[in-house]
Amino acid sequence: MKSQVVVAITFVFLIIAVIVTVNMFAEEKIDTSNNNESEITSIHMGMNMFMPKQVTIEPDTTVLWWTHDREIHNVVGIFKTYSGEEIAIFSGDIPPKADWSYTFEESGVFEYTCGYHETQGMKGKLVVN
């Protein structure tokens, strides 16, 4: 009987963990309909990965990276524009539960990593078309 109670409690905690995780990584909707700001796309940072790992956006889109976990992350890379320019981008440290944004005005490709977790595979790619 005691083992059945332990199994039931463990199952309840597992269900709660799944619900919390799904809600954490749900797509954030940002209303920009009443202003003239650029479109906003969110990239989530948690569990040493970027989610989604690859994104395609239009020029003049602001990308918002935000972290869910207790780790410090950053966004580091070179934005290579289709016109031949190379722009170094470094967010600085993004503390837990915080965000950082950058507006991509030109078309190009931005391959980036988290400097702290690159060896764990924390890499992403942004295509601006």
pTM: 0.71
Contact 97, 73 (CB under 8 A): no
Q: Give the structural domain span for 90.
A: 2-128
Question: If you search the block for the tokens 């948690």, which residue do you land on?
Answer: 46
The string of pLDDT tens digits covering residues 16-72 is 443 344 344 444 433 334 344 568 999 999 999 999 999 999 999 999 999 999 999
Instruction: Tell me which residue of 123, 106, 102 sits closest to 114, measured CA to CA.
Output: 123
The string of pLDDT tens digits covering residues 113-124 is 999 999 999 999
Residue 85: which CATH number?
Answer: 2.60.40.420
When divided into structural domains, the chain yields a total of 1
Separation of alpha carbons 35 and 87, rounded Å: 28
Dig out the tokens for 15 from the structure: 């269900």
SS3 category, 20: helix
Contact 56, 38 (CB under 8 A): no
